[in-house]
Amino acid sequence: MLEGWANIIISPVLGAVIGYFTNWLAIKMLFRPREEKYIGRWRLPLTPGIIPKERARLTSKVAETVGGKLLTYDVLLAELTSKKTTAAVEKLLDSLIDGLRAKDLKISDIISESARDSMFSFTDEKIPDAAKIVEHILNNPELDSNLISATGRVLRENFGMASFFLNPEKIYHNIKLEFRLFIGNTNNHKLFSAKLRESAGTLWDLRVNQLLDTLSEGQTRSIKEKLMQLVAPALAQAANLIASNMDIRSMVEEKMNAFSILEAEEIILSVVKRELNVITVLGGVLGFIIGLAPVLFNMI
């Protein structure tokens, strides 16, 4: 009787042990051995393990999936230009303004001397262009008509009846001619540049926190909105440049190849260790059921 029960128990238990062990061994053989094993010149079969042996192919496939289907150009661009990114930039701007309020800085502490020189060099180069723009604006018949009317009004307001003896159109064109000669003179360009530098000299000594304290909450908010209007296009352009030049596939492949086999094993196990343990246990359960099946069949 006891021998009969032993036969009934041994078969399913042995099946459970074999099922558990084979699944455990199969999972281990995914990663082990990590390198080829030899007896003399002959390489042992199933060495290295499946993942070390197929590492290059698996890495390429993972990189292709991530770069081609997950982190695509459209996904990157959408993320870099999302409301979340814009909110982060706004938060950074708030932090910058709060930081400037907390520090006793002069404008010269923020804008370096070399940056100031670059600014003035830029304005020096643009003064002739600005003069040409003004010249172009002055060559406008409608503007001439309006300014002639304005000249006549100023003459009447300041000279009364005597203005009837003055010619507003002639006076306007004489002033216009002198003004055009003035803005077209390169010496005056240099004079304007020198005055600009002189006037800006007092600006550099202003305290930033004092300037910010003079602003109301609405003015501060308006400045921030204006800055965001300037930043937003630059952010979008930078996002497009980043997204179009990021080779996600190569980055993923390079990073994965930099891992040692041990590191790769640890990363994979950190993700699927629980699932692999379930597979091992299921091997034991299935082995038990398979071992129990013939026993039950014989009992029938």
CA separation (Å) from 103 to 84, 100, 112, 113? Answer: 29, 5, 17, 20
Closest CA to 248 of 71, 69, 61, 55: 71
Q: Is residue 249 within 8 Å of 73, Cβ to Cβ?
A: no
Q: Is residue 217 within 8 Å of 105, Cβ to Cβ?
A: no
User: Length of the chain, please?
Assistant: 300
First to last CA, the chain: 17
CA separation (Å) from 172 to 155, 158, 165, 270? Answer: 11, 15, 15, 84
At 75, phi and psi to the nearest 5?
-65, -45
Residue with tokens 């039950």: 296
Average pLDDT of every residue of the chain: 83
Per-residue pLDDT at 231 exceeds 60:
yes
Q: Which residues pair with 207 in a beta bridge?
A: 106
Closest CA to 12 of 285, 299, 298, 300: 285
Residue with tokens 């930043």: 231
Higher-confidence position of 166 and 2:
166
Contacting residues for 269 by C-beta, under 8 A, at least 6 apart: 276
Query: What confidence score (pLDDT) does residue 111 get?
Result: 82
> Cα–Cα–Cα angle for 275, 281, 282, nearest 5°?
85
Q: What is the rounded distance in angstroms from the CA atom of residue 257 to the CA atom of residue 57?
A: 11
- What pTM was computed for the model? 0.48
Contacting residues for 209 by C-beta, under 8 A, at least 6 apart: 100, 101, 102, 103, 104, 105
Higher-confidence position of 290 and 296:
290
Q: Percent of the chain having pLDDT more than 90? A: 1
Q: Percent of the chain having pLDDT more than 70? A: 97
Contacting residues for 104 by C-beta, under 8 A, at least 6 apart: 207, 209
Per-residue pLDDT at 1 exceeds 80:
no
**Which H or E element spans position 42?**
strand 42-43
3 falls in which pLDDT band (50, 70, 90)?
low
119 falls in which pLDDT band (50, 70, 90)?
confident
75 falls in which pLDDT band (50, 70, 90)?
confident
Query: What confidence score (pLDDT) does residue 6 get?
Result: 64
